[in-house]
Structure formats: C-alpha cells, structure tokens
C-alpha cells in the first residue's frame, strides 16, 4: 500500500496547524483538495485520522501514531534538502584529489590553500600515488579527480590539459665550471647523473629523448623523491633531472643552476583526470575551475 508523498505532506501540515485551511495555505492548495487528500489517506488505511472540531481538526489516536512517523520523515527530508543546498553552495562535503607528492607540494599547494580559504567547510583528502595508481583510484571511486602528467590514453577517463611544466638538468656549486657552458648530451653523460627511481613519466621521457639521439642515459644515483633529487644536486653528488618549476627557489637563491644543453628538452603537460560520463561533484568542479 504505497501512498504518495504528497498525501503525507498534506496530512503533516493539517496535523501541525490543526486546520485544513492553514494546511491549504502553506501548500498553495485549495481547501477541497486538502480535504480530498486526507479522505484518500483515511480510505487507504481504513482508519479515521482526524476529528473535526470547532477550531478545525484534531488527530485521532491512530492519526497521532501516523503523525509521530511522518514528523520524523519530514525532519529528515528538510535536513536532506539543507544538506543538498550546502553541498551545492560548498558549505560542506569533501574533495578527494589524487596526485604525486611533488605536484601537491610544488604546484597544487597554493590552489589548495585558495580553495580551503574560499570553502572552509569542505574537507580535503589528498591521495598520493604514481600515475597508474591515481588512474586506479579514480576508477575505484576513491578520488574525485586526479592531477597527473600527460599523455594519458584511457577511454574511461576524461583528461583536461591544465598547465605546462619544463624539466631540466640542475647542478650545485661543485659543478660551477659548467655554468657558462652549453653542453652536448655526450659531455653531460661524462658526469654522474641523478634520476628519479620510479618509472615516472619524466624518467621515461628523458630516457626516450636520449635514445632518439643514440645515447643511453644510465643514472649513477637513483632516488625515490623529488626532494632528494634537489638535495643531492645541491650537495654536489651529481647532476639531477628535475622539473624547473619545482626548483625555482633554489635557482633563485643560487644553490642550484640550470645546466644548459645544445638540444631542446620537451615540455611536459599536466592534466586533470575525471571519470568520463560521471557527474563531477560541485567541490571538484570548483577546484578544476580554480586550477585551469
């Protein structure tokens, strides 16, 4: 016996106000349609729900039982509507982003700060991982969006290009004699090279670039984080291949300098990943607008 929600709404307001005409006013209905709705409910249950009295209507014992349930559901529906409005206005909810440690620290941090200041009610969850891990997180529904290096080819994912980064070789004071030199790849390879150990997009790109010129780039030192790539180069342990935007502070203060090569290094593009054909949450949309 499924009575529709509208009938219960009429019943709720009639019981709450104790008047059919008041209920009609609240619901923008005519009084006869309110009476008709209550009659339908009473018939469907085979019970009287109201007594008529001089002031209007009063609940019967059975009506009071029904009201105790309907009142709770009405409160829940109101809360649900408020929650939806809050999510739409970004007063609450959460934003789950996947990315590499280095992208979070060196690139996304100011955007995350801006977003948090504008929407302090939205909880931020940052999931760190490699590009394949982030793609998997998205498909498993563990994050709302991912920030990764391109190219990404996956029919299940939507990729929006966001910004461009430039990778370069950097060295510290120990290699100061290279500062004013334009190096060939062969000359560069005479020095110890420090590369990121994981099979990262940047590592694959530089390996392919050297191969295209007929050279094989074999690192003397491999490290697991961008911070170590920077630190090892500063301490003079070799020449590191890093993203220029991630070492802007060190290049400015002179603790590192860029080693110039006689061949161009291709820029890399960063993209924002979302699931194709899936609605993007209000929080995720707001963040994507901020970054792009």
> Block means of pLDDT (10 residues each) for the chain, length 292 residues?
83 95 94 94 95 92 95 87 80 90 87 94 92 90 91 90 91 94 94 86 88 94 91 96 93 96 91 90 91 82
Domain count, the chain: 2
Contacts of residue 260, Cβ cutoff 8 Å, sequence gap at least 6: 181, 182, 183
In a 13 Å sphere around the CA of 59, the CA atoms on its Cβ side amount to 15
pLDDT at position 20, please? 94
Let me know the angle formed at the C-alpha of 71 by 67 and 73, rounded to the nearest 5 degrees.
120
Q: For residues 252 and 277, state if they share a domain.
A: yes
H-run or E-run covering 292: none
Structural domain boundaries enclosing 27: 5-88
Say yes or no: 68 and 116 in one domain.
Answer: no
CATH number, domain of 40, equals: 1.10.10.10
**pTM (predicted TM-score):** 0.68
Considering the domain architecture, whether residues 133 and 243 belong to the same structural domain is answered as yes
């Amino acid at each position: 016996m499924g009575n529709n929600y509208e009938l219960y709404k009429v019943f709720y307001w009639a019981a709450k106000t104790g008047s059919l005409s008041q209920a009609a006013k609240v619901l923008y209905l005519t009084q006869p349609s309110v009476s008709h709705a209550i009659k339908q409910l009473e018939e469907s249950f085979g019970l009287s729900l109201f007594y008529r009295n001089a002031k209007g209507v009063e609940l019967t014992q059975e009506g009071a039982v029904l009201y105790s349930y309907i009142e709770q559901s009405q409160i829940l529906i109101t809360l649900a509507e408020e929650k939806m409005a809050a999510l739409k206005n970004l007063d609450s909810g959460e934003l789950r982003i996947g990315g590499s440690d280095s992208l979070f620290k060196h690139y996304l941090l100011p955007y995350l700060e801006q977003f948090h200041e504008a929407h302090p009610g939205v909880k931020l969850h940052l999931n760190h991982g490699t590009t394949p891990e982030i793609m998997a997180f998205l498909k498993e529904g563990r994050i709302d969006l991912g920030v990764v290096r391109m190219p990404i080819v996956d029919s299940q994912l939507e990729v929006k290009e966001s910004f461009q980064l430039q990778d370069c070789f950097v060295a510290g004071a120990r290699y100061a004699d290279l500062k004013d030199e334009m190096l060939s790849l062969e000359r560069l390879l005479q020095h110890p090279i420090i590369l990121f150990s994981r099979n990262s997009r940047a590592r694959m790109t530089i390996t392919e670039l050297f191969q295209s010129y007929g050279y094989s780039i074999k690192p003397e030192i491999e490290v697991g984080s961008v911070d170590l790539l920077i630190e090892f180069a500063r301490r003079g342990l070799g020449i590191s291949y890093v993203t220029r935007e991630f070492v802007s502070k060190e290049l400015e203060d002179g603790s590192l300098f860029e080693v110039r090569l006689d061949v161009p290094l291709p820029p890399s593009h960063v993209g924002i990943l979302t699931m194709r054909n899936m609605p993007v949450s209000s929080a995720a949309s707001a963040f994507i607008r901020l970054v792009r």
